[in-house]
Structure 1
Amino acid sequence: MSAAPSGASPPAPTPKVLAFDVFGTVVDWHGSIAAEAERLLPGVDGDAFALAWRDGYRPAMRRTMEGGRFRVLDELHLEILREIAPRFGVTLSREQEDELNKAWHRLEPWPDSAAALARLKTKFIITPLSNGGIGLLTHMAKRASLPWDAILCAEVFQAYKPAREVYRGVGRVFGVPDAEVMMVATHHDDLDAAQDAGLQTAYIARPLEFGEKHTELKDSEPRSRHPLHFDSIHALADHLGC
């Protein structure tokens, strides 16, 4: 193997751990929540309901961290649900709230996810790195056959992405350098924060993340900062020799 040219960056080491964003990257949150909303709330526009529910996600995380007490995502989702329900003319019983809130535990995987993750698991440690909680991600994995080696998430680190300690916690848990962890996501801001924390990155294009009616909401264009850009998790597995 020849030495890198003078002034060139050395090649990145082969990753040992692949950490995946989940909502949007591995599972179809929009289609799943829209379908559940229409099933449980007849007459409601599931597409609009799903978007409104997700729109409250970042503000709720910000309020939580400013308050100084970490809360699992199930609590935030319930809080947002109670805020948006009146906008759709819906009054929910406690039982309906619980059933609808747990729809986030039942999100459908993208068609390639389970099989492609199984391929990657033959060579790498694979884990979610999500703002979802341990229970939510475990229930989702059992239902969707997602073959994680472990569950890492905001609840483990008591902080939400894009906090640096969440990304750097992966290497600490598995005893590998940050540079041997690869963050895999369909969100450029997630990958930006991971790279700032010293991780490698790979982008997975999910142009239908916000549904077929809202492709303009999704930026799936390649960016030079993250040159590993794939159309599916299978394509990532091909690239990594799995």
Structure 2
Amino acid sequence: MDTLHPASIDDWKANTRVLAFDIFGTVVDWHGSIVREMQALYPSVDANAFALAWRAGYQPAMGRVRSGELGWTRIDELHRLILESLLPRFGLTHLSEVERVHLNRVWHRLDAWPDSVAGLLRLKSKFLICTLSNGNLGLLTHMAKRAGLPWDCVLSAEVFRAYKPDPATYLGVANVLDVSAHEVMLCAAHHDDLQAARACGLRTAYIERPVEFGALQPKDVSPQAGNDLHATDIQALADQLGC
């Protein structure tokens, strides 16, 4: 796969063909969505703590797959494993199987950030836009349908049977869409994701999501060296890319 970048900014903007988006935190508000649902379903539970604890189990769970401790396991199943470990801590062991399944599928029902749909529609007018998420295909498809996310293509770690930051995920986007790595730009709210993409020859755009972890835990969204673009949100990214 060709990973050489065009020489100038004008060249790479002209040659960028695909915008691949991280999803959790970048396009959808996982924290706020889970908090809202927990407050509605189980008002006695500390919804903020529950959402943060569930998300905190995400990387360790994927680490078990990467290390070979677990065979290939979809995010839906990893989310369920984490959920089961949280139920005693939050006094929810009484939940029935039906209730547990419904709660686990909250990740399918995450709300988009207010700028996401309009921004993606603008970008779609000029670029192919797709997901590049560790979320599984069913999760991402259900989420897109509910939230109105206008993807041209839904790509997932499930397609490549590897979780980011495995190079197979980033280069897999280029391979599936039959473009060179430098013609793909990863758009994400996480610098580690972007750094791994750059190492594979992709362009990168950072999207600020200062309240990804809630208003009580604001993120530092300062620009970092290496990214081609830095945008306050997806609408601002569309502005920078001339859409």
Cα deviation, residue 40, structure 1: 2.0
Partner residue of 2:120?
117
Cα deviation, residue 88, structure 1: 0.9
* Inter-partner Cα distance in structure 2 for 1:227 and 1:115: 22
1:44-193 paired onto structure 2 within 5 Å? 44-66=45-67, 67=69, 69-91=71-93, 92-193=95-196
Deviates more, 1:82-91 or 1:185-194: 82-91
Q: 1:203 aligns with which of 203, 206, 228?
A: 206
- Please state whether the residue corresponding to 1:27 is helix, strand or coil: coil
Partner residue of 1:17?
18
1:30/1:50 contact within 8 Å kept: yes
- C-alpha change, 1:147 and 1:71, in structure 2 (3 Å) is same
- Please state whether the residue corresponding to 1:128 is helix, strand or coil: strand
Cα deviation, residue 219, structure 1: 2.6
* Inter-partner Cα distance in structure 1 for 2:143 and 2:38: 18
- Please state whether the residue corresponding to 2:72 is helix, strand or coil: coil
TM-score, length of structure 1 as denominator length? 0.93
Give the gaps of 5 or more residues in structure 1.
1-8
Partner residue of 2:33?
32
Residues 38-59 of structure 1 show CA distances to partners (whole Å, capped at 9, x for unaligned) of: 2222300110000000000000
- Please state whether the residue corresponding to 2:40 is helix, strand or coil: helix
2:19/2:184 contact within 8 Å kept: yes
- Please state whether the residue corresponding to 2:87 is helix, strand or coil: helix
Partner residue of 1:41?
42
Backbone CA RMSD of aligned residues: 1.1
Cα deviation, residue 68, structure 1: 5.5
* Inter-partner Cα distance in structure 1 for 2:57 and 2:237: 31
| Structure 1 stretches of at least 4 aligned residues deviating more than 4 Å after TM superposition | none
Residues 96-140 of structure 1 show CA distances to partners (whole Å, capped at 9, x for unaligned) of: 111100000000000000011001001100001000000000000
- Please state whether the residue corresponding to 1:189 is helix, strand or coil: helix
TM-score, length of structure 2 as denominator length? 0.93
- Please state whether the residue corresponding to 2:132 is helix, strand or coil: strand
2:203/2:228 contact within 8 Å kept: no
1:154/1:166 contact within 8 Å kept: yes
| Aligned residue type for 2:169 | V
Partner residue of 1:5?
none
| Aligned residue type for 2:90 | F
Number of residue-to-residue matches in the alignment: 232
| Aligned residue type for 1:106 | R
Cα deviation, residue 233, structure 1: 0.5
Partner residue of 1:3?
none
Identity of aligned residues (%): 57
Cα deviation, residue 147, structure 1: 0.2
- Please state whether the residue corresponding to 1:89 is helix, strand or coil: coil
